[in-house]
Structure 1
Amino acid sequence: MASLDVEFLFSHVPILPRIEIILNNVYRHPKLPPPTITENIIKNLLFACTTEAPFRSLTGQVYLQVEGVAMGSSLGCGFVDFFMCKLENTVLRDPDVKPFINCSYVEDIFIAIRSEPHLRDLKKAMETASVIHSSNELNIHNKIPFLDVLIHFQDNTYKTIVFRKKTDTRRCMNAASRCPQRYKLSAIQEYPRRAHRNCSSWEFFHIEVSRVKQILINNSFSYFIVDKETRVFITCTITQHEQNNTSSAHNLL
């Protein structure tokens, strides 16, 4: 297992190639019809929104970002997604380069490869086909963090649990803070929701829930309310799971 992290993806990739990729997918898609607005109008709008958007520096000077997309721009994620999809579709056509597993989230990519030379070949192919550069990380003892998930390959199975960096301070919204009660309840509810989403088994889920209960209690939440909200989430999740299984069984019949 390994991961690739594309560096400066928003700011370093030229605008015009990205716009051409978008136009080709929108107006020359093999299955979807083009929009009613003309291609030239869309091209001019995309160009204006990316190269003619001013911003002010801390010193008061006004600049135009002539290359790349500004961080926080509403167009940023769309531009990056089109670019990365085009790049991956081009590079991964080569069976000698294509990894066994390729999962990407914007500029972060999780891959399963044969060896370190395979990783180097993949990285070189992606950099040769574009202007990007990336850093990489290999698994240690069959474990590797990817975003907020720790992936463990064991017994020919991928197991996952919530990942926390060593710099994590175990702090969250404090129950004594002056904010609406619904925000505090949301802070509690998100922890078991994330545990259920990221953990591959109920065993890992309960390990993570025990950990976050202590975090919440350390941040002044009462054990009663934490336990109550956790139980409500588990009950609702199990009920929903049983309803889905029942519905699937009826569909089969």
Structure 2
Amino acid sequence: MGSPLGVLFANFYMGLVERRVLSVPHLCPLTYGRYVDDIFVEFRDWKHLNLHDACISSSCLNFTLKLYGDGSLPFLDVFVKPVDNKFVTSIHVKETNKGRFLNAEGECPTSYKRSVIHSYVNRAFAHFSTWPLLHQELKRLQQFLVNNGFSNKNVQSIIMQKMAAYLRHHNACPEKRPPILLHYRSFMSTAYRTDEKVLREIVEHGTHPMDPEDKLELRIFYKKLKPLTIS
């Protein structure tokens, strides 16, 4: 603990444990996610959980389980709740969190103060899976920021900038698929134009991609003939 290599060693060891446990079909969970030593796992039933726990606890590590009756679970700073066969995520706020952070009235560079707003707003957009939950979190966050001396106008401005950037990204026209390239090596001759026309007709009429949305593009490149030498 405390060493810069601590996280690296933890990941190495957990990788060995996961390789042994997750490679067994009847032990592999439905969902598995890990950050260093914090693990989020979804099981089929209690029997599946007990088998997995017994196997993974056979290492030199001791694992603790957190179970919630309604199926919801805080994982790091994300609150996860299953709804209609999918996970709904939001921000997990501990009961001990009093909403105190860097005060805007303190002696600190302006860029640091703005980064506080940006970091909390970015986290909200990254963690929330529904618009009502995002709206609720932004209202809570805005109140906490104002309580810590930040200007309500600046907070709203950064939220609107983030919202506009988010909508531009998700409403942008989808990029066109790159064509499937077919490369053909030919030899330069005086009839190269005729050869190219024949090749393109063969590709156009005789070749079709499996996905109709894909397009084919023929690219012909030439290799020079070696000069004939007479000795």
Shift of 1:156: 1.1
Runs of 4 or more above 4 Å deviation = 249-253
Q: Percent of pairs identical after alignment?
A: 32
DSSP-derived class of the 1:145 partner: strand
Q: 1:246 is matched with which residue?
A: 174
Q: Residue type of the partner of 2:163? A: I
Quote the residue 1:92 is aligned against: 22
Matched to 1:148, the amino acid is: D
SS of residue matched to 2:3: coil
Range that drifts further, 233-242 or 137-146: 233-242
Does 1:114 find its partner at 2:44? yes
Distance apart, 1:72 and its partner CA: 3.0
Alignment correspondent of 2:107 = 178
> 1:94 Cα deviation (Å)?
2.0
Match of 1:210 in 2: 139
Alignment check: 8 A CA contact 1:160 1:198 kept: yes
In 2: Cα distance, 1:120 partner to 1:193 partner = 38
CA deviations over 1:3-36 (Å, ceiling 9, x no partner): xxxxxxxxxxxxxxxxxxxxxxxxxxxxxxxxxx
Deviations 1:157-176 (A, max 9, x none): 11000111111111111111
Structure 1 gap ranges (5+): 1-70
Bigger share in helix: 1
Partner SS, residue 134 of structure 1: coil
Tell me the C-alpha RMSD between the 2 structures: 1.6
Matching residue's letter, 2:161: V
For this pair of structures, how many residues does the alignment match? 180
- Establish whether residue 224 from structure 1 lines up as the match of residue 153 from structure 2: yes
Tell me by how many angstroms 1:250 deviates: 5.0
2: CA distance, partners of 1:171 / 1:207: 19
Answer with 1 or 2: which has the greater Rg: 2
Q: Are the counterparts in 2 of residues 142 and 154 from structure 1 also a CA contact under 8 Å?
A: no
SS, match of residue 66 in structure 2? strand
CA distance, structure 1, for counterparts of residue 177 and residue 87 of structure 2: 31
Matched, 1:123 2:50: no
Q: Which amino acid aligns with 1:178?
A: E
Greater CA drift, 145-154 or 113-122 = 113-122
1:2-151 matches, within 5 Å, as 71-128=1-58, 130-151=59-80
